[in-house]
Amino acid sequence: MSEQLYEVTLLVNGVHRSATVPARRLLSDFLRHDLELTGTHVGCEHGVCGACTVLVGGRPIRSCLQFAVTVDGEEVTTVEGCTRPDGELGPVQQAFRDCHGLQCGFCTPGFVTTITAYLHENPEPTADEAREAIAGNLCRCTGYQNIVASVLRAAQLRTGSTEAAAEAAP
Amino acid sequence: MTTSMLGEPIARREDPRLLTGQGRYLDDIGHRALAAAFVRSPHAHARIVDVDVTEALDVDGLVAIYTHDDLEGRVGEPLPLLIPHEALTHGRTPYALAKDEVNHVGEAVVMVVATDRYVAEDACERIRVRYDFLPPVVGIEAARDAALLVHDDVPGNVSAHLVQENGDARSAIDAAPNVLELDLAIERSASTPLEGRGVHARWDADDHSLRVYTSTQASTSVRAALAAKLGLPPDRVEVIAPDVGGGFGVKIMHPWPEEVLVPWAAIRLGREVKWTEDRREHFVSATHERGQLQHVRVGFDDEGRLLGLDVTVWHDNGAYTPYGIIVPIITTTQLLGPYKPGAYRAEFFSLYTNTVTVTPYRGAGRPQGCFAMERTMDAIAEHLGVDRTVVRERNFIQPDEMPFDHGLTFQDGRPLIYDSGDYPATLEKIKKLVGWDDFAAFRSEARAAGRRVGIGIGCYVEGTGVGPYEGGFVKVETDGTVVVATGLTTQGQGHQTVFAQVVAAELGVPIERVAVTTGDTRRFGYAVGTFASRAAVMSGNAIAIAARKVRDKALRVAGEALEADARDLEIVDGTVRVVGSPPGAPGTSIPLATVAVLANPLRYAFDREAERATQFGGPVDVSKPPVAEGDSPGLEETGYYSPPRSTFANGMHAAIVETDPDTAEISILRYCVVHDCGTLINPRIVEGQIHGGVAQGVGGALYERMVYDDAGQLLNASFMDFLMPYSTEVPVVETDHQQTPSPLNPLGIKGAGEAGVIPVSAVIASAVSDAEGFAVTRMPISPSDLHELRLRHSSEGGPAR
Amino acid sequence: MKPSGFAYHRPSTVAEAVDVLAEVSPAGKVLAGGQSLVPMLNMRLAAPAHLVDVNRLTELAYVRVDDDGGRRTVVVGALARHTDVEHDAAAHAALPLLREALRTVAHPTIRNRGTTVGSIAHADPSGEMGAVLALLGGTVELRSARGTRTVAAAEFTTGPMETSAAPDELVTSVAFPVPEGRTGTAWTELARRNGDYAVCGVGVLVRLGDDHRVVAARAVYVSMGPVPTVLDLTEPVAGQDPRADDDGWAAAGRLAAWRLDPDDDIHATAGYRRQLAAVLTERALRTAARRATEVAV
């Protein structure tokens, strides 16, 4: 017996992307294997590690705990979409590089998406707030020291780039 | 500009790719590959009576189902025992798919291949395996009691029994004025990288060749194992470690059952096959470590100096011993730390249990050894009423006693001889960093406010950079880029950066021009692997040796072109030039790219630059062959580094903890590290390694344990219940460095990968003991454990601080 | 860890949803935020034949404060995410306990998707929101093709992961009554890691009389039994001055510890849980009583 298929269309990183999948296809697998956007990683498939975190409608969610069909029609941002429009590293990505905020890089996409959304809500976090902001994501390599630093650095870069953007505006 | 000298904390070159989702981890490869899944034993110990696949056969998308009966030739034989040892008298390894008997929950019994993983799991669910239950052996006590056996033919459940002795420890202890005995325990944990294991295989039937991607720490050795298992010539097998999402030891184990079966099935089916381990599988079918019981008997003088030390370790090796007995060997040798033990005797029993197999996890037996020694040091201090750092200092090996021979055999089969280290200096630094001498005042203040605090310390020495060897390949391309390859693999250590730093420094080229490949047998075939804090030491030095050879040749070829003596030349920013010549002076410099062209005499030109190397391209000495005898074309060299023995890093950690008098919560208020891994290639990366190690140590000290019930079921096989720390559970880590170069290798470096994790349980136990007024002898410790300990000690009338 | 196949239904109205549930009953399972259900599906610990996805029922995506002649109630619709409830200013003003308890529900990323109603319907004995509902004496509204009914929290949760909802019923909303008078509330819990299920969690409500003395105190516990356990702790603290350092608070803690019957598990012994119940109850009562004094009546 073959499964019923659904056409699922998402606005992924600003681009409409579709694939036809069974209802049980997890959003994480849909992004990774149907759309071949493999930046989103899968570390536990039970919602604890946070590696699969993507933004749906701007809010970070676990893509391993969501069926693609449920979010049909929604706007999704993955780590691939956290770059600057010119493809250069976005502020959170740049901050991770500046602060050595990653080692093996497997958990990193979930941190980048989470922090991107967080700084939108709280552009100038304290160190304690930064630590709290990343507390739902597991990293086994860094001991989090440099990820906390990356959050703070990203806040600086964002503010800087906002100012720079404001200056650049006519 | 050359911004790459050794010791610079430069940003990592692999990061832009990894940060933008352009990494290539195992499951990112082969979107259309068939997916494998496994039916795994739900029982800890059972005989397989029957496998019934009938119900699975009509699953839409099913491609194949295999049991042990299907495995032909060497694929059906037990997997290799990787590191044999004469003391391992009863080594046992599993089959790729269980034959007749299963020995732990999670052992693979049936392999299913289907169009995708969802469908493969559907089929697995419909396969009925009938078992006859056997009583399981769970826990070290049960294994030691041996009322039940894991393997019928292994008496006492003992896989290995080893005694090492230097002097007559028992007599020395009996004669000592002070004697103490300690019983200690460390529970099981696991490496638990965020990316599990995974294998992808593609068989090219026309070319008769196999390409395997695997998330491994040892791609060359996987290739050797696969070629042997599958009966293929090794040169028809390519094994590549793509980006690997963390290893921490678990991925040095190989070949996994799945690592053999996936390529085997790919060949058999003539299709791409992939297996991506899920988290539940990882908990029950990858490997664990750490579980040990220890008994220490120590004799010491009235100053606290060790006279004799006798340690017995009962090591839980799980169901099988594919990686040999490396872990207990390391425990019983590295236990000695920075101390002179007097006469020393170490005995271990490696025991089978019906639980997941044990292989090295970052630290690899050292955290347990450090725990035993440091708890002993604290016990001596307590017994004599002497400061804990003073007792340690009195037992240190002094710098002028280096090299120091312990008279034992280390894990590499070579003598345990420390090469260098300045332990008193390290102690001074850690005391200063944590404020050891000011702690009494802090404690008084805290106590007045109703708070309970304690301070702890732990010292370790870590043998790093074990042999036998690693190699490096360095080639200057005709466009001036430098390609570098080494066979060992990378799991986040920044090798693409640090090895590029080595080459940039040795060769005098901008780091931007250096590209490093690791863990790809197509690029470098001889290697051992990434473990035991050896990558920087081994491949770093091998690459340095290769780069020096390239440099020598470049200077020679350039000397001929510039009509200058090679000894008068230097390479700066990718240009060979006469030392001291003014920049741009004609005839005094030549780009390395051009040297690479000239180093390869050509018949055919492929661009303007190449014309110079063709047979009519310029003046040549026609009396000599174009490639001199003993020389080879091109600007490329291979170098190997093979050390006589390991090099020994060291460090000391200290922590201040607070324990809640009511809830028994344990908070780490400060965590300090002083670390000596010799010369630093990239301090930022070393610092990151320390941070990560400490976090894993904190996990092992306060949160992580594998909990088995009496039936051998792992009760916490998920991230919900196996408590890896989040950011909120890890303290701020304060670090300071000490640099005592190793005299054993050209770069003077020592390994740094594991150090951070080694002393953490010892340090936290020391600090909690200090806060509570009773000795903590079992780790990890949870608030509930501490609460129960308090009840026990208060009922025994012990002191409560 | 991939879920089994299921027939998927995506109704766009509540009426349609209850019709589907009636049709597939008892083989249907409602999918809202999925933060508890999908892990179980991924591990194949649950494999419902039909999944009724209510994420299109936007009519249930609300948080509102009803006022029925001064008796106020915070009503949360089935599609309100935890985050929506946590950040709802009116709900917070009326019932600060909601936000305080919600902040201990997993991590923000989970709260972005998980629903408060779904959490209550899931009836995990570690679930904070079911406990808050029980503490406040709230109600659950159930709809089916057969009609609508309202069930008291105490009757709704019948056991661990068990409720009195019929297979064809959809929980459409829950109502948290706002305590009247000079009352204070507090939520406190201790988890092994930040965001984990509590080893012991306590919610309390303390009511003061006009003389600012305690007239009532009760508490609810998570992870301390098969269902949220509500205890009346008035006796040891009755007449107590919230600001005074009376030992009634500690006595109330001891009473709670004595009345509760938690289990051992891999994270904690029952004895430790009782110890925590005593300590956390005392701490929460003090906090709630202090807060009660600040309430303008």
The residues near B54 (Cβ < 8 Å, ≥ 6 apart) are: none
In this prediction, residue C244 carries a pLDDT of: 82
CA distance B404 to B449: 48
Which tokens hold the place of B194?
């965020």
State the nearest Cα–Cα gap between B646 and chain C, in angstroms.
Answer: 39
Answer yes or no: do A67 and C109 touch at CB < 8 A: no
| Residue-range definition of the domain harbouring residue B612 | 470-641
Assess whether C122 and C62 both reside in one domain. yes
SS percent in chain C: helix, strand, coil, step 5: 35, 30, 35
Amino acid in the structure at residue B170: R
| pLDDT beyond 70 at A166 | no
Amino acid in the structure at residue A127: A
| pLDDT beyond 50 at B1 | no
Assess whether C188 and C79 both reside in one domain. no
Instruction: Give the C-alpha distances (Å, rounded to integers) separating B664 from B376, B695, B728, B783.
Output: 25, 21, 18, 5
Which one of A62, A107, A111 would you mutate to disrupt binding with C, by most C Cβ within 10 Å of its Cβ?
A: A62
Looking at chain B, the whole-number percentage of residues with pLDDT higher than 90 is: 89
Residues 59-88 of A with CB under 8 A from B: 78-80, 82-83
State the nearest Cα–Cα gap between C183 and chain A, in angstroms.
Answer: 31
CA distance A102 to A108: 6
Whether the CB-CB separation of C65 and C72 falls below 8 Å is answered with yes
Which tokens hold the place of B219?
């791609």
Residue B703 placed within a domain:
yes
Answer yes or no: do C271 and B788 touch at CB < 8 A: yes
Quick one: DSSP state of residue A42? -
Whether the CB-CB separation of C251 and C236 falls below 8 Å is answered with yes
Whether the CB-CB separation of B326 and B296 falls below 8 Å is answered with no
**DSSP line for B673-737:** EEEE-BS-S-HHHHHHHHHHHHHHHHIIIII----B-TT--BTT-STTTS----GGGS--EEEEE
State the nearest Cα–Cα gap between A134 and chain B, in angstroms.
Answer: 7
Which tokens hold the place of B460?
């370790």
Assess whether C63 and C120 both reside in one domain. yes
ipTM above 0.90, yes or no: yes
| pLDDT beyond 90 at A2 | no
CA distance B750 to B402: 15
Pick left, alpha or beta for residue B342 (phi over 0 → left; psi -120 to 50 → alpha; otherwise beta).
left
Measure CA B73 to chain center: 32
Assess whether C213 and C262 both reside in one domain. yes
Instruction: Give the C-alpha distances (Å, rounded to integers) separating A46 from A62, A79, B270, B791, C34.
Output: 9, 20, 34, 37, 11
Q: Does A137 touch chain B (CB under 8 A)?
A: yes
Assess whether B453 and B486 both reside in one domain. no
Point out the domain boundary residue: C177, C201, C227: C177
Neighbours of B618 (CB within 10 A): 11
The residues near A81 (Cβ < 8 Å, ≥ 6 apart) are: A12, A13, A14
Which pLDDT tens digit goes with each residue over B543-570?
999 999 999 999 999 999 899 999 999 9
Tokens 């939108």 correspond to what residue?
Answer: A120
* Confidence bin at B309 (pLDDT 50/70/90): very high
Quick one: DSSP state of residue A79? G
In this prediction, residue A1 carries a pLDDT of: 53
From the list B11, B60, B691, the residue facing A98 with the nearest CB is B11
Which pLDDT tens digit goes with each residue over B169-214?
999 999 999 999 999 999 999 999 999 999 999 999 999 999 999 9
Which pLDDT tens digit goes with each residue over C63-73?
999 999 989 99
> The whole model's pTM is what?
0.96
In this prediction, residue B2 carries a pLDDT of: 42
Q: Which of B241, B318, B321 is nearest to B79 (CA)?
A: B321
Neighbours of B405 (CB within 10 A): 11
Count interface pairs B-C at CB distance under 8 A: 69
Assess whether B480 and B457 both reside in one domain. no
Chains with 3+ CB–CB pairs under 8 A to A are B, C
Which tokens hold the place of C250?
């500690």
Burial (Cβ within 10 Å: 0-12, 13-18, ≥19) of residue B799 = exposed
Assess whether B60 and B205 both reside in one domain. yes
The CATH number that domain A5-81 falls under is: 3.10.20.30
- Angle of helix B535-562 relative to helix B495-507, nearest 10 degrees, comes to 30
Write down the mean pLDDT value for chain C: 96
Whether the CB-CB separation of A84 and B20 falls below 8 Å is answered with no
Average pLDDT over every residue of B761-769: 98
CA distance B670 to C161: 41
Assess whether B617 and B672 both reside in one domain. no
Whether the CB-CB separation of B462 and B373 falls below 8 Å is answered with no
Q: Does B741 touch chain A (CB under 8 A)?
A: no
The residues near C215 (Cβ < 8 Å, ≥ 6 apart) are: C207, C208, C209, C234, C238
Residue C146 placed within a domain:
yes
The CATH number that domain A91-168 falls under is: 1.10.150.120
Chains with 3+ CB–CB pairs under 8 A to B are A, C
| pLDDT beyond 60 at C127 | yes
Amino acid in the structure at residue B373: M
Average pLDDT over every residue of B523-543: 91
| pLDDT beyond 70 at A165 | no
State the nearest Cα–Cα gap between B253 and chain C, in angstroms.
Answer: 23
Point out the domain boundary residue: C53, C71, C90: C53
**DSSP line for C159-183:** ETTEES--TT-EEEEEEEEPPPSEE
| Residue-range definition of the domain harbouring residue C265 | 182-292
Write down the mean pLDDT value for chain B: 95
In this prediction, residue B185 carries a pLDDT of: 98
- Angle of helix B760-772 relative to helix B783-795, nearest 10 degrees, comes to 40
Tokens 């500009």 correspond to what residue?
Answer: B1
In this prediction, residue A162 carries a pLDDT of: 59
* Confidence bin at B4 (pLDDT 50/70/90): very low
Assess whether B46 and B123 both reside in one domain. yes
Whether the CB-CB separation of B291 and B188 falls below 8 Å is answered with yes
Answer yes or no: do B715 and C2 touch at CB < 8 A: no
Backbone angles phi, psi at A45, to 5 degrees: 55, 25
Answer yes or no: do A97 and B726 touch at CB < 8 A: no
Which tokens hold the place of B391?
């007792």
Residue C63 placed within a domain:
yes
Assess whether B431 and B541 both reside in one domain. no
Quick one: DSSP state of residue B358? B
Q: Does B640 touch chain A (CB under 8 A)?
A: no
Peptide bond into B780 cis (omega under 30): yes
Assess whether B492 and B369 both reside in one domain. no
Which tokens hold the place of C266?
């891999």
Using a CB-CB cut-off of 8 Å, the residues of chain B touching A108 are: 18-19
A139-165 residues labelled b (16+ CB within 10 A) or e (exposed)? bbbbbbbbbbbbbbbbbebbeeeeeee
Which pLDDT tens digit goes with each residue over A104-131?
999 999 999 999 999 999 999 999 999 9
Which pLDDT tens digit goes with each residue over A123-156?
999 999 999 999 999 999 999 999 999 999 999 9
Which tokens hold the place of B543?
């690459």
Assess whether B311 and B336 both reside in one domain. yes
Answer yes or no: do C2 and B121 touch at CB < 8 A: yes
Looking at chain C, the whole-number percentage of residues with pLDDT higher than 70 is: 100
Question: By three-state DSSP, how is residue B496 classified?
Answer: helix
| pLDDT beyond 60 at B798 | no
Amino acid in the structure at residue A118: Y
Residue B628 placed within a domain:
yes
> How far is the first Cα of chain A from the last one, in angstroms, to the nearest whole number?
62
Average pLDDT over every residue of B705-734: 97
Point out the domain boundary residue: B619, B641, B663: B641
Answer yes or no: do B694 and A147 touch at CB < 8 A: no
Which tokens hold the place of B56?
């699975």
Beta-carbon-side half-sphere exposure of residue B50 (alpha carbons within 13 Å): 5
Beta-carbon-side half-sphere exposure of residue B207 (alpha carbons within 13 Å): 10
CA distance B448 to B454: 14
Q: CATH number, domain at C109?
A: 3.30.465.10
In this prediction, residue A168 carries a pLDDT of: 46
User: What residue ranges in chain A does DSSP mark as E strands?
Assistant: 5-12, 15-22, 53-56, 59-62, 75-77
Residue C282 placed within a domain:
yes
Q: CATH number, domain at B534?
A: 3.30.365.10
Using a CB-CB cut-off of 8 Å, the residues of chain A touching C34 are: 65-67, 70
Assess whether B743 and B658 both reside in one domain. yes
Q: CATH number, domain at B129?
A: 3.90.1170.50
Residue B746 placed within a domain:
yes
Answer yes or no: do C35 and A65 touch at CB < 8 A: yes
In this prediction, residue B582 carries a pLDDT of: 85
Q: Does C193 touch chain B (CB under 8 A)?
A: yes
* Confidence bin at A161 (pLDDT 50/70/90): low
Whether the CB-CB separation of B795 and B399 falls below 8 Å is answered with no
The residues near B584 (Cβ < 8 Å, ≥ 6 apart) are: none
Residue C297 placed within a domain:
no
**DSSP line for B89-121:** TT-----SS--SEE-STT-EEEEEEESSHHHHH
Instruction: Give the C-alpha distances (Å, rounded to integers) separating B737 from B650, B690, B752.
Output: 11, 11, 12
Assess whether B678 and B637 both reside in one domain. no
Point out the domain boundary residue: B620, B641, B662: B641
B650-663 residues labelled b (16+ CB within 10 A) or e (exposed)? bbbbbbbbbbbbeb
Assess whether C133 and C71 both reside in one domain. yes
CA distance A23 to A15: 22
Assess whether B507 and B623 both reside in one domain. yes
Q: CATH number, domain at C272?
A: 3.30.390.50
Using a CB-CB cut-off of 8 Å, the residues of chain C touching A6 are: 8
Average pLDDT over every residue of B306-317: 98
* Residue ranges covered by each domain of chain A: 5-81, 91-168
Average pLDDT over every residue of C242-256: 91
Using a CB-CB cut-off of 8 Å, the residues of chain C touching A30 are: none
Average pLDDT over every residue of B274-302: 98
Pairing of strands C50-53, C7-9: parallel
Which tokens hold the place of B224?
């050797």
Number of domains making up chain B: 3
Which tokens hold the place of C51?
């999944």
| pLDDT beyond 50 at B394 | yes
Answer yes or no: do B782 and C4 touch at CB < 8 A: no
Which pLDDT tens digit goes with each residue over B625-660?
888 888 899 999 999 999 999 999 999 999 999 999
Using a CB-CB cut-off of 8 Å, the residues of chain C touching B780 are: none
In this prediction, residue B3 carries a pLDDT of: 43
Chains with 3+ CB–CB pairs under 8 A to C are A, B
Whether the CB-CB separation of B8 and B90 falls below 8 Å is answered with no
Q: CATH number, domain at C46?
A: 3.30.43.10
| pLDDT beyond 90 at C137 | yes
Point out the domain boundary residue: C177, C207, C233: C177
Which sign, positive or negative, has the C-alpha torsion A62, A68, A74, A79?
A: positive
Point out the domain boundary residue: B581, B607, B641: B641
Amino acid in the structure at residue A62: R
Whether the CB-CB separation of B417 and B463 falls below 8 Å is answered with no
Answer yes or no: do B733 and A145 touch at CB < 8 A: yes
**Length of chain A, in residues:** 170
CA distance A71 to A19: 13
In this prediction, residue B606 carries a pLDDT of: 85
In this prediction, residue A163 carries a pLDDT of: 58
Assess whether C86 and C131 both reside in one domain. yes
| pLDDT beyond 50 at B436 | yes
Q: Does C270 touch chain B (CB under 8 A)?
A: no
Which pLDDT tens digit goes with each residue over C170-182?
999 999 999 999 9
Tokens 């021979």 correspond to what residue?
Answer: B405
Residue B145 placed within a domain:
no
Assess whether C217 and C259 both reside in one domain. yes
Assess whether B297 and B270 both reside in one domain. no
